[in-house]
A = this chain, B = another copy of it.
Amino acid sequence: MNLDHTHDPAAQSWVESANAADADFPLQNLPYGLFRRAGHNESLRAGVAIGEFILDLKLAAAAGRWDTPVRVQLQALANGDMNGFMAAPPATRRAVRHALFDALAAGSSQQAALQACLVAQSVVEMAVPCRIGDYTDFYTGIHHATTVGKLFRPDNPLLPNYKWVPIGYHGRSSSIGVDGMDVRRPWGQLKPPQAEVPALAPSQRLDYELELGVFVASGNPLGEPIPMARADEHLFGVCLLNDWSARDVQAWEYQPLGPFLAKNFATTISPWIVTMEALEPFRCAFAHPAEDPAPLPYLDSEKNRAEGGYAIELEVWLQTATMRAAGEPAVRLMRSNFGSSAYWTLAQMLTHHASNGCNLQPGDLLGTGTQSGAAAEESGSLLELSDGGKRPLTLPNAEARTFLQDGDTVTLKAFAQRGDARRIGFGACSGTILAARQA
């Protein structure tokens, strides 16, 4: 691990709300996002979340005192060029983190100048935080893969390639949105097993999937792989990702080329990118099960084994329309931990992706796949929690759910927590199901 004073758990900010014990965005976090003031017709600008505020980097670039290399980066960010910043060398990204940390730390001489650069998170609209050229979704959750595999292929749940290949596929970039988005129930070809022919109808088995996403920092030229030894420097940061899925569409369409319309109608991410620097204290051992085949050499490294994992707690919350109308809060459906649910690390995902020379670019997004724990109640999708729709969940208000109903709001949450480190959060990743479009 590469810890420094920005990871000091005792460090406090002059932004008071950042010091609350349950704050997602304490001084040690400093995630990046793109925002505009709600209702203002202004272009997107970059900011850093601190407590309940955002440090507006357009204002801060001008108002603060910054060393030249940091000022250059802040000025690019001020114009909303997140991708340019993502492409910067790791040392530059680290220098910007250090400068922002020092400027926002309690006692900083920059407090007076930067106070005026704070915007309350409650008055902004967040946007997809960068230009996502390509979005790839992996399938690293081995408990999810096994459980879902049983539903789709009872005889053959975990395919023979699973423990060798970090399975992934290309997803849809255009339909990625952020926390707070509405998701219209999609129509699709449905063919229940007993039906003779398919019919176009609104999906009846609409589901969420609890995932993390990792953004690519600098890329690689076409034809040149990224070895494990250099994978970490090509990772920029992590967000929550909900891979909304229409299970009935998926079951009928997915062979032989994989999911398509079952998943590309919407993907929701949390708008704040928690940087790899902020996640450094949460690295953990990534023990490949001793009884399984060792990863092929191109996917193996001592560092990956020692600290390729990240201890990130994951949660799914649900608030139905009925609950909302009654003023009842959301209920938590499950918890799991990325450190123990993923069979492959973020570094292995990236290195595998580039192993054939495929060129990754700054801002590309790699999803981890659904992160379910080993126990049934730790499942990251309703498909698993309801055993393929056969066992409805009963909610505290006595409503039942197999799959999502119109008006349901699904919220993903995550926080990194380990040892003495200051706990950091990811903010929310929520979406609400709208009724299907009229025929």
Contacts and interface: CB of A to CB of B under 8 A. Distances in A.
B358 A133 contact: no
Interface in A240-260: 246, 249, 252-260
A89 interface: no
Contacts of A246: 356
B357 A265 contact: yes
B169 A258 contact: yes
B187 A260 contact: no
A139 B355 contact: no
B165 A266 contact: no
A387 to B, nearest CB: 19
Contacts of A356: 186-188, 246, 249, 261, 264-265
A22 interface: no
Contacts of A161: 189, 191, 198, 252-253, 255
A200 interface: yes
Contacts of A186: 356-357
Contacts of A261: 352-353, 355-356, 358
Contact of A165 (B252, B258, B265, B353): B252
A174 B361 contact: yes
Contacts of A266: 222, 357
B164 A264 contact: no
Nearest to A246: B356
Across the A-B interface, the 8 shortest Cβ-Cβ residue pairs: A258-B258, A186-B356, A170-B170, A169-B257, A184-B223, A257-B258, A261-B356, A265-B356
14 contacts: A133-B173, A161-B198, A165-B198, A167-B260, A174-B360, A199-B296, A200-B297, A222-B266, A254-B256, A261-B352, A261-B353, A264-B358, A265-B358, A266-B357
B437 A255 contact: no
Contact of A256 (B198, B199, B252, B258): B258
A21 interface: no
A94 interface: no
A293 B197 contact: yes
B257 A168 contact: yes
Contacts of A177: 222
Contact of A159 (B134, B149, B256, B437): B256
Contacts of A168: 257, 260
A19 interface: no
Contacts of A169: 169-170, 257-258, 260
A33 interface: no
Interface in A270-295: 293
Given A161-B253, A261-B355, 20 more contacts: A134-B174, A149-B256, A159-B255, A159-B256, A165-B189, A165-B253, A167-B253, A167-B256, A167-B257, A169-B260, A170-B170, A174-B222, A174-B358, A175-B222, A177-B222, A223-B434, A254-B258, A261-B352, A264-B356, A265-B358
Q: Which of A249, A257, A266 has the most CB of B within 10 A?
A: A257
Contacts of A293: 197
B296 A174 contact: no
Nearest to A299: B200
Nearest to A224: B437
B175 A257 contact: no
A257 B172 contact: no
B170 A264 contact: yes
A225 interface: yes
Contacts of A170: 169-172, 260, 264
Contact of A296 (B184, B189, B434): B189
A437 B173 CA distance: 30
A437 B222 CA distance: 12
A189 to B, nearest CB: 6
